[in-house]
Amino acid sequence: MTEKFGATGRRKEASARVHILKGTGVIKVNGREIAKYFGRPTLQMIVKQPLEAVRLNGQIDVTANVRGGGLAGQAGAVRHAISRALVAFDETLKPLLRRGDYLTRNPRMKERKKYGRKGARRRFQFSKR
């Protein structure tokens, strides 16, 4: 039996658990094919970026479980998790993934709503008279 490597990735409010193993390049997210889950080609491209960076695109099967956030955040979380799992799979891939900035968690989050205001940055309407 081939060995499984797992990792967790996060982006915005989304978190993804990913398992990779040698195979034929099948990517499943929450039990569905990648094209069915992430309908937009840009989101599919984001998920596949780390595999293309290390040239293992058709050689590794990916199974991902994603929760929280929207589709864009989930795609980023899966990309982050795949990158971390690839490092667990082969430590020599780390410099390539680091160069592509796939191992760094994107820190941008939603800004909190402030008290007495309508939103994070919304101010009250100015009235001259």
Structural domains present in the chain? 17-99 (3.30.230.10)
Distances 35 to 11, 43, 86, 99 between C-alpha atoms, Å: 20, 9, 22, 27
pLDDT at 1: 43
For residue 128, name the pLDDT band (cuts at 50, 70, 90).
confident
Q: Are 60 and 22 in contact (CB under 8 A)?
A: yes
Q: Mean pLDDT over all residues of the chain?
A: 92
Task: Give the residue with greater pLDDT, 2 vs 107.
Answer: 107
pLDDT at 99: 93
pLDDT at 2: 67
- Burial of residue 111 (number of CB atoms within 10 Å: 0-12, 13-18, 19+): exposed
Measured from the Cβ of residue 78, the count of other Cβ atoms closer than 10 Å reads: 31
